[in-house]
Amino acid sequence: MKKLLGILGLFIVVFGFTAVQNPKFISAYNMENLLNWTGLFGILGVGAAFVIITGGIDLSIGSVVGLVGCLLPLFIMDHGVPVPLAILSVMLIAALIGLTHGLLITKLNLQPFVVTLCGLLIYRGVARFITADQTMGFGNTHGDLRKLATGKLAIPGLTEATKFDLPIPFLILFILMVVGAIFLDKTIWGRYLLALGRNEQAARYSGIKTDRLTIMSYVICSTLAGFGGIMFMLDLNSVQPSSHGSFYELYAIAAAVLGGCSLRGGEGSIIGVVIGMAVLRLLYNASNLLGIPTQLEFTIIGAVILAGAIVDEVAKRLVHRMRQAKQQR
Amino acid sequence: MNHPLLEVRIVTKYFPGVVALKQVSLTLEAGEVLALIGENGAGKSTLMKILAGIQQPDLGKLFWNGKEADIDSVEAAMELGIALIHQELNLADNLDIGSNIFLGREPRNKLGIVNRRIIREESRKVLERVGLDFDPRTSLTKLSIGQQQLVEIAKALSMNAKVLIMDEPTSSLSSKETRRLFKVVKDLKQQGVSVIYIAHRLGEVKELADRVVVFRDGQNSGELAKEEISHDRMVQLMVGRDVSQLYERTPHKPGDEILKVTDLASPAFPDAKNNFSIRAGEIVGLAGLIGAGRTELLRVLFGIDDAVSGTIEVAGKPREFEHPRDAIEAGMVLVPEDRKGQGLVIDWPLDMNGSLPGLNRHLKQKAFIDKRNEIETAERMIDDLNIKTPNRKQILQFLSGGNQQKVVLGKWLSLEPKILLLDEPTRGIDVGAKEEIYHLMDKLAAEGLAVLFVSSELEEIMGVSDRVLVMHEGKVTGELARSDLTEESIMQLATGQELATAH
C-alpha cells in the first residue's frame, strides 16, 4: 500500500510539473495518446508482474510481441486465414510458448533467466525468417479490426471544448487490471502465487502445487504478451520483424518493479504495475514536451527507477528499524 | 590477590523498551569450562555479544585479569583473546581450510602476494590442536558440519584466543561429532583455554562443564558447582518450576491401525525397506542418530520425495502420495524440521500462515478466500495453542521459536488431521514452549490422533513416546515398548547392535 502511494506520488509530481511547464501536455489529444500507450504497454506489464511475483522473470516478452506482430498479418494477408481463427492461433502459439517456458523451468529446473533469454533470441529469429525481414502490415484493409487498437470511446456528456475520448487499449488494460487485481488479492490462487514467490518450499509443504502455479504464471505472461502483440500490430499496422517489440520486456519489467514488485518474488500489486507503466509513458511523453532530447529517454527512465529503488530500500530500512524498536518494547 | 581471567560485574543492557540484562555478574577462570544456560530470551546471547565486543553494556564493567577492560569492538575482544564461535558458522565454503583460518589477515610478502606456505604451516599447527587431520588445502565443502566447526575453533586459536565462546555448538552435530568436540574442548582446557559454552542440551552440561551459570529473564537465577549439576536442578533454575510437569502424560488408548507401511524405502536409502504401523491415539517416537534416514522417511510419507519401493496404507486403504497435497487429503500432515524454510512463510503475518493449507478447503468460497473464516481460524489458533503474539497480523519472524512452532502446529490442526508427523518439533525452542508442545502432543493422542515424531533428544523420546521405533542406516531396526525404554537400549539399536539382553 505504501509503495502504491509512493509511485502514485511520483506520477502526480511528474504530471503536475509537466503540465505547468507545457500547457500542451494536458490537451485532450496528448492525454488520449498517453492513455493509449499506457494501455498497450500496460498489458505486457500485467503479464510480467505474474511471473515476477513467483520470483521468475520473462525476457522474451518483446520477441513474442514481434513474432505475433509478424504472424497475424502473415496468416491473414498471405494465407487468407479468417480473422477470428488467425487471432485464436497466434494467441494459442503465445500460450504454448509460455507453457514451454513453464515446463522447462519447473520440470527441468532450468533458470527462468536462461530459458526466456533463449526465447528472446529464438522467437526474434523465427519472426525474421518467416517474413524474410519484410515489413508486415494490413495496408488499407481490415480497418474494422484495427479499430480494436486505434478506436476511441467518446465519453458522453462532454461539450466540444472538453471533448475527451477514451482509447480502447486503455479500457482493455483497465478491465485486465481489475480482473488481475481481484485474482491476486482475493482468490486462493493469487494467495498461492504470493506464497510460492516468498517461500516455495513452505508453499509446497503446505500442500500447494507450486509447479502448476509457476507454469500458469508463465502461460499468463506469454499469453498477455501475445495479446499485447496483436494490439501493437493493429495500432502500428507496420511491423519491422527485426525490431518490432524490441526491449518491450524491459518496459514491462521496469513497470513491475516501479509498481512494487520485488524481483525476489512474493510481492507486488497489479494496480501498482499499471501506475508504474503510466509513469514510464509519462516520463517519455514529458521529456518530449519539455524539449529533452529523445536520445536521453532510456537514461531518464533508468535514473528514475534507480532513484525509486534507492528510496524504497532506505524507507524499508527505516520501517524495519522502527518495527524492531517497537517489538522490543 | 588472585583475579579471575574474566569478570562481568553488575552489567545492565537496555534495548529499546526492554531490559535485556539486569545487573548480571559472571566470572571465568583460566582453563575453566563454564556452561551458560537459560530459556530463549534469558539474555545469554546478549551477554556473549557484549563479551565479544559486538554490543556494549549500558551499566556495569568488564574486567580482564583484574583490570577494567573496555571491549568496545570485536577487534578489542580479539586483542584480549576472546573469540565467539557463532551458532551459524561464519566460514566461506568456496575456500579451502587454510584460507578460511587466515581470512582477512593473510600473511603477505613484499609484493603483497599471499604467502601460502606460511598459511599451510600455521594452519597445520592449529588444526592439530583441534584434532583435525586434514591438509589445509582441502576445500571446506568436503568437511562435515562438525568438522567445519572445529575449523572455526582452529581459526580462533590461530588468533591466540584464550576464551572461546560457543553458542549452542552441538545443535547440529551427530553424537559422534559431539564426542569429538567434547574431546577438543577438554584438550583445550588442559592447554589453559577457557570456554564459555551456551548449552541447549542439558545432558551435555554435566559431562563437560566445571560450573553452570543459569539465567532467567535477563538476571542471574543461580549457579551450580560441578558436583551440584543435575538435570532437574538446572531445569528448575531455568524455568522456575518442577520438571516432572514437563512430561506429564494422560493415559492413551490406542485404537485401530491408521498408518501401515510395507517395504517402504526412501531415495536416500533405496535398499532399506521399512515395515511398521501406527495406531490411532498413540505417540510413536522415531529415534536414531542424525543421518539415520528419519527425516527422509517422513519426506516419503508426506509425499515430498517419491518412494523407491513399498506401499503406504492409511486407515486400511492403499495410498499413493505424489505431492504433499495427497498426504494432506488422506489426513496426514507434517511439521517439518526446518521451521523457517519449510514450515512457515516467515515474513508473512500469522493469519496468512495459519490459513495456507486450509485455503482449498474450509477457507474457500468458490475461488475466493473466505476472509472472515480466515480471521476466525487465526484467532482460534492463538487462543487454543496459547500463542503469545500482539495480534493475528504479527509477522512471524518477530515471534519466538516456540510461538512460531505453535503456528505450524496450528495451521495443520485446523484441518483436523488423523496422523501428525513431527520432525524435531522442539528444536531451538525454550523449555516453557517445549512443555506446552509435549502437553499438546499428549492431548492430541488422547483425542485419537496418531503421532509419529522424530527427535534426536533421548530424554524427549523417552518422556513422550508410548512406543519407540529406532532407525539405523535408513531402516527401522527395532521397536521398544514404553516399559523397555532405556537410553542404552535406544542407543544400541541406533548404532546397529542387537539388543544385548532379552527381556
Q: What is the pLDDT of residue B172?
A: 67
DSSP A245-282: TTTHHHHHHHHHHHTT--TTSS---HHHHHHHHHHHHH
pLDDT over threshold 50, residue B198: yes
Q: Does B328 touch chain A if contact means CB atoms closer than 8 Å? A: yes
Q: CATH number of the domain at A60, please.
A: 1.10.3470
Quote the minimal CA–CA distance from B267 to chain A in Å: 18
Reference B220, options B34, B88, B472; nearest CA is B34
In chain A, which residues have their Cβ closer than 8 Å to the Cβ of B360?
A: 188, 207
List Cβ neighbours of A14 (8 Å cut-off, separation of 6 or more): A279, A282, A283, A286
Q: Looking at the partner chain, which of A191, A205, A329 has a beta carbon nearest the beta carbon of B359?
A: A191
Q: Does A326 touch chain B if contact means CB atoms closer than 8 Å? A: yes
Residue A6, CA distances (Å) to A9, A11, A14, A49, A311 in order: 5, 9, 12, 18, 10
In chain B, which residues have their Cβ closer than 8 Å to the Cβ of A205?
A: 302, 304, 324, 334, 336, 342-343
Q: What is the pLDDT of residue B502?
A: 44
In chain B, residues 49-108 whose CB comes closer than 8 Å to chain A: none
Written as nine digits, the cell of B320 is: 499413493
Amino acid sitting at position A259: G
Q: Does A202 touch chain B if contact means CB atoms closer than 8 Å? A: yes
Q: What is the pLDDT of residue B103?
A: 87
pLDDT over threshold 80, residue B89: no
Structure ipTM: 0.87
Three-state secondary structure of B297-337: HHHHHCCCCCCCEEEEEECCEEECCCCHHHHHHCCEEEECC
Reference A328, options B187, B461, B16, B215; nearest CA is B16
Longest C-alpha distance within chain B, in Å? 80
Quote the minimal CA–CA distance from A269 to chain B in Å: 16
Q: Burial of B244 by CB count in 10 Å (0-12 exposed, 13-18 middle, 19+ buried)?
A: exposed
Contact, A246 vs A67, CB < 8 A? no
Reference B151, options B205, B33, B137, B115; nearest CA is B137
Dihedral, CA atoms, A93, A94, A95, A98, nearest 10 degrees? 120
Q: What is the pLDDT of residue B499?
A: 67
Q: What CA–CA distance (Å, rounded) separates B321 from A39?
A: 45
Q: What is the pLDDT of residue B503?
A: 46
pLDDT one-digit tens code per residue, B112-132: 888 889 999 999 999 988 888
Best mutation target among A106, A199, A206, A264 (most B Cβ atoms within 10 Å) is A206
pLDDT over threshold 80, residue B440: yes
CB contact under 8 A, A202 and B342: yes
Quote the minimal CA–CA distance from A144 to chain B in Å: 37
Written as nine digits, the cell of B239 is: 524455568
Q: Rounded mean pLDDT of B176-202?
A: 88
pLDDT one-digit tens code per residue, B293-320: 999 999 999 999 999 999 999 999 999 9
Q: Which of the residue ranges B94-108, B169-183, B260-274, B348-362 would you say has the lowest mean pLDDT?
A: B169-183
| Burial readout A133-150 (b: 16 or more C-beta within 10 A, e: otherwise) | eeebbbeeebeebbeebb
A279 lies in which domain range? 2-327
Q: What is the pLDDT of residue B17?
A: 56
In chain B, residues 374-393 whose CB comes closer than 8 Å to chain A: none
Q: What CA–CA distance (Å, rounded) separates B254 from B371?
A: 38
Quote the minimal CA–CA distance from A314 to chain B in Å: 19
Q: Where are the beta strands (DSSP E) in B357-493?
A: 364-365, 368-369, 419-423, 450-454, 467-472, 475-481
Number of structural domains chain A divides into: 1
Q: What CA–CA distance (Å, rounded) separates B144 from B124?
A: 18
Q: How many CB pairs under 8 A join A and B?
A: 78
Q: Does A1 touch chain B if contact means CB atoms closer than 8 Å? A: no
CB contact under 8 A, B17 and A326: yes
Contact, A33 vs A150, CB < 8 A? no
Highest-confidence segment of A6-20, A77-91, B419-433, B479-493: A77-91
Q: What is the pLDDT of residue A242?
A: 94
Q: What is the pLDDT of residue A61?
A: 97
Q: What is the pLDDT of residue A181?
A: 95
List Cβ neighbours of B230 (8 Å cut-off, separation of 6 or more): B206
In chain A, which residues have their Cβ closer than 8 Å to the Cβ of B321?
A: none
Q: Name the residue ranges covered by the structural domains of chain B.
A: 6-243, 246-331+418-503, 344-416
β-pairing verdict for B274-279 and B257-265: antiparallel
Angle between helices A28-53 and A270-289 (to 10 degrees): 140
Q: Name the more confident of B427 and B294.
A: B294
CB contact under 8 A, B324 and A329: no
What is the share, in percent, of chain B residues with pLDDT greater than 70?
Answer: 96
CATH architecture of B246-331+418-503: 3-Layer(aba) Sandwich (3.40)
pLDDT one-digit tens code per residue, B53-65: 999 999 999 999 9
Give yes or no on whether B6-243 and B246-331+418-503 have one common fold: yes
3 state SS of B277 = strand
The rounded mean pLDDT for chain B is 89
Q: What CA–CA distance (Å, rounded) separates A80 from A57?
A: 36
Q: What CA–CA distance (Å, rounded) separates A282 from B302?
A: 52
Q: Which residue of B has its CA nearest to A207?
A: B325
CB atoms within 10 A of CB B317: 9
Dihedral, CA atoms, B466, B470, B474, B475, nearest 10 degrees? -90
Quote the minimal CA–CA distance from A209 to chain B in Å: 7
Reference B465, options B233, B219, B254, B302; nearest CA is B254
CB contact under 8 A, B368 and A208: no
Q: Tell me the torsion sign for CA atoms B325, B419, B285, B399.
A: positive
Q: Does B415 touch chain A if contact means CB atoms closer than 8 Å? A: no
Q: What is the pLDDT of residue B41?
A: 65
What is the share, in percent, of chain B residues with pLDDT greater than 90?
Answer: 55
Alpha carbon of residue A174 to chain centroid: 12
* Cα Rg of chain B (Å, integer): 25
Reference B343, options A205, A208, A54; nearest CA is A205
Quote the minimal CA–CA distance from A322 to chain B in Å: 10
CATH architecture of B6-243: 3-Layer(aba) Sandwich (3.40)
* Residue-by-residue pLDDT tens, chain A, 329 positions: 677 888 899 899 989 999 999 888 988 889 999 999 999 999 999 999 999 999 999 999 999 999 999 999 999 999 999 999 999 999 999 999 999 999 999 999 999 999 999 999 999 999 999 999 999 998 888 888 888 888 888 877 777 767 788 999 999 999 999 999 999 999 999 999 999 999 999 999 999 999 999 999 999 999 999 999 999 999 999 999 999 999 999 999 999 988 888 888 888 999 999 999 999 999 989 888 888 888 888 888 888 888 877 887 887 788 777 766 665 54
Quote the minimal CA–CA distance from B409 to chain A in Å: 12
Q: What is the pLDDT of residue A5?
A: 86
Q: Rounded mean pLDDT of B452-477?
A: 90
Written as nine digits, the cell of B380 is: 482460534
CB contact under 8 A, B325 and A208: yes
Q: Does B261 touch chain A if contact means CB atoms closer than 8 Å? A: no
β-pairing verdict for A165-167 and A152-154: antiparallel
Q: Does A187 touch chain B if contact means CB atoms closer than 8 Å? A: yes
Quote the minimal CA–CA distance from A151 to chain B in Å: 34
Helices and strands in chain B: count of H runs, count of E runs: 16, 22
Contact, B53 vs B89, CB < 8 A? no
Q: Name the more confident of B20 and B308.
A: B308
Q: Looking at the partner chain, which of A188, A199, A203 has a beta carbon nearest the beta carbon of B369?
A: A188
Q: What is the pLDDT of residue A323?
A: 67
Q: Rounded mean pLDDT of B67-74?
A: 91
Supply φ then ψ for residue A185, to 5 degrees.
Answer: -95, -25
Q: Looking at the partner chain, which of B18, B356, B364 has a beta carbon nearest the beta carbon of A206?
A: B356
